[in-house]
Structure 1
Amino acid sequence: MNQNFQTEAVTNYIVEWLKRYAQESGIKGFAIGISGGIDSAVTSTLCALTGLPLLCVEMPIHQPASQVSRAKEHLDFLMQNFDQVHIATSDLTSTFELFKQQLPTIENEALLNLTLANTRARLRMTTLYYYAGIHGYLVAGTGNKIEDFGVGFFTKYGDGGVDISPIADLLKSQVRLLGEYLNVPQSILQAKPTDGLFGDDRSDEDQLGANYDELEQAMLAVEQGKTLDDFEGREKEVFAIYTRLNRINQHKINPIPVCTIPNHLK
């Protein structure tokens, strides 16, 4: 799938796109949330390569130590290589716990935990926009193509609430290739992808039921017009997972529906 992927050319293209967008919109720089994952590591490095000011914000909420250490390792890398990179930290754990006290609970523990996980992402989005606002920056999104437009694996108005999406046209495997080219720390390149929203070590694969390489193959199969009947075994299982997630997450993947009133009624 990535045989013709031109890593250096893609890197340069995104960096120039970011610089052009910044110039045309008159913004001063970028703000980005740093999680310790490959997507935020690659996106922040691409933003740093523009030479524009970049504010990297850590926003832990009961974050596992492994994620925190990976984030700090990447931030050290950025600080050593780019003079215009700055770091801010807002520990939102106590804010999250106080917020929870003001809300009702339900007996469905799985649904409650999922809702609270999305709440974490939305608290981070609000915090990131505060930092961007006081500095006159744009919020850079870290979503990739399979997450944003394939299975909808992001929080609406959480990590999906951004101003620009530099890597949203790249598959996860392509993001990894960029990470290798950009010398992202090996600890991040080798770590299992996780959204870090549950305060434990569950991976994206644990939640989705398939890994990103499998889901990319299913995404490509859909683009080729294949159906469930074209597969068997594990491939059939993954294809079913992909198509189900794509279907139920259309409300995230597509723009907000607008009820357009006919002219003769207004």
Structure 2
Amino acid sequence: MTKKSTVQVEKVNSHIVNWLKTYAENAKVNGFVVGISGGVDSAVTSTLCAQTGLTTLCVEMPIHQAPSQVNRGREHIEQLKKRFPNVINAESDLTSVFEEFKKVVPDTGDIDKVNLSLANTRARLRMSTLYYYAGIHGLLVAGTGNKVEDFGVGFYTKYGDGGVDLSPIADLMKSDVYALGAFLKIPTSILEASPTDGLFGDDRTDEDQLGASYDELEWAMREDESGKTAENFTAREQEVFKIYKRLNTNNQHKMNAIPVCLIPEKYK
């Protein structure tokens, strides 16, 4: 199920950079702020933003972060600053904020629910931090979600990393992001690292959480979009397809607009 990207990376790169620049100019802002995680999505997004020539603020927001993730993020930022004079960086260590938050909310005793809620809290603290930086510098928050995460399985935190002003790579599959990352010459350490959201403070990968690799989920997304069913799939393909359909169904609340209760005219 390995899928090699077929996007024309040079043309895609130019298209996204022009789109970003035009959007920022129309919005009359100074540039972009990007949360840097040490992963490929944030590295590619920040490099695309940097190419606009507008201010690109890269923000590190560690919360009990693994040293490997921190080191990859810093390696990318240093490389980006050397390549683009419009790139600046900042760090807000949110560990103490996170620990204080834990003190003022109840522990229900259901460890799985508590851990998941706290993982999402990390993402929401980071979103608030990015919007603070955006507000004081006149910037837009650039999202780092790709297509299979944002519109396939909904693998992001609602009002966390899903809370952004614009999404430069959300129409690219993960394989496309890797191809673009190689074209943009982001650090090899990032291209070779196993994808992880880093929200649990351990070494679990995205694949550990999802139950399937991004290559497999891309395959399932394409099969689903083409109207295929699981009847003629191999055993593993059937398993992956079921995983994709379950996640896609369960996370529709993230992908769809917030439901609004419309009041009948006769009641107004």
Alignment-mate amino acid for residue 204 of structure 2: R
After TM superposition, list the pairs within 5 Å mapping 1:153-192 onto structure 2.
Answer: 153-192=155-194
Q: Give the number of equivalent residue pairs.
A: 266
CA separation of 1:176 and 1:136: change in aligned 2, threshold 3 A: same
After TM superposition, list the pairs within 5 Å mapping 1:190-229 onto structure 2.
Answer: 190-229=192-231
Q: SS where residue 154 of structure 1 aligns? A: coil
After TM superposition, give the deviation of residue 2 of structure 1 in Å.
5.1
Q: Does 1:240 align with 2:242?
A: yes
Q: Which residue of 2 aligns with 1:35?
A: 37
Q: SS where residue 58 of structure 2 aligns? A: strand
After superposition, the C-alpha distances for 1:95-128 in whole angstroms (9 at most, x for unaligned) are 1001100010021111110100000000000011
Q: Which residue of 2 aligns with 1:137?
A: 139
After TM superposition, give the deviation of residue 147 of structure 1 in Å.
0.3
TM-score norm. by structure 1 comes to 0.98
Q: Which residue of 2 aligns with 1:106?
A: 108
Q: Does 1:67 align with 2:69?
A: yes
Supply the distance in 1 between the matched residues of 2:253 and 2:69 (Cα, whole angstroms): 30
After TM superposition, give the deviation of residue 141 of structure 1 in Å.
0.3
Q: Which residue of 1 aligns with 2:15?
A: 13
Q: SS where residue 163 of structure 2 aligns? A: coil
Supply the distance in 2 between the matched residues of 1:21 and 1:9 (Cα, whole angstroms): 18
After superposition, the C-alpha distances for 1:54-93 in whole angstroms (9 at most, x for unaligned) are 1110000000000000001100111110101111000000
CA separation of 1:10 and 1:66: change in aligned 2, threshold 3 A: same
Supply the distance in 2 between the matched residues of 1:3 and 1:184 (Cα, whole angstroms): 17
Q: SS where residue 59 of structure 2 aligns? A: strand
After superposition, the C-alpha distances for 1:27-73 in whole angstroms (9 at most, x for unaligned) are 11101100000000000000000000011100000000000000011
Percent identity, aligned pairs only? 65
Task: Please provide the CA RMSD for this pair.
Answer: 0.9
CA separation of 1:176 and 1:149: change in aligned 2, threshold 3 A: same
Give structure 1 stretches of 5+ with no counterpart: none
After TM superposition, give the deviation of residue 223 of structure 1 in Å.
0.6
TM-score norm. by structure 2 comes to 0.97
Alignment-mate amino acid for residue 42 of structure 2: S
Supply the distance in 1 between the matched residues of 2:214 and 2:36 (Cα, whole angstroms): 21
Alignment-mate amino acid for residue 46 of structure 1: L
Alignment-mate amino acid for residue 77 of structure 2: L
Q: SS where residue 240 of structure 2 aligns? A: helix
Q: SS where residue 123 of structure 2 aligns? A: helix
Supply the distance in 1 between the matched residues of 2:91 and 2:256 (Cα, whole angstroms): 32
Q: Does 1:79 align with 2:60?
A: no
Q: SS where residue 57 of structure 2 aligns? A: strand
After TM superposition, give the deviation of residue 3 of structure 1 in Å.
5.8
Supply the distance in 2 between the matched residues of 1:179 and 1:18 (Cα, whole angstroms): 17
Alignment-mate amino acid for residue 194 of structure 1: T
